[in-house]
Structure 1
Amino acid sequence: MSLKKEKRPALSRSVQNQLGQRLQSFYDSLALGETPVPERFIEIINQLDQVELDQEQMGRERRKQHS
């Protein structure tokens, strides 16, 4: 089964530009501290941090077992 590639983007250039401008504005307001970071973003970051810590711990335990 082959997947067809779209020849045109799903969103028009105008919509892409508007989304880009809004995302840039939102990012700028976060970076300047004008807008608080959404709680859901913080939860996701914390989950990713925990996964990374767990992987590091597993790696250390494996190295200990093979030493």
Structure 2
Amino acid sequence: MLSLFAHHAEAFFKVEINGRDYPDGMTEHAIFAAVAVFVLGMMSYGIYAGIRDFRRWRRPVELKA
């Protein structure tokens, strides 16, 4: 599925600068790697926050007199 996205995104991002197509192969890989790391980081934080909130919800309430 990601290869299909990359194939169609290539036409969207393609720009010609000084007669050369941009982004080239390595730049496309760098852009994808940065996006993938960001998405994985956000997903990891979401999982962490979900577990943290669930544990807070399950914790017994301490009543202060």
Instruction: Using structure 2 for the length normalisation, give the TM-score.
Output: 0.50
Which one has the bigger strand percentage? 2
Q: TM-score, normalised by structure 1?
A: 0.48
Instruction: Compare relative contact order (CA 8 Å, sep 6+) and give the higher one, 1 or 2.
Output: 2
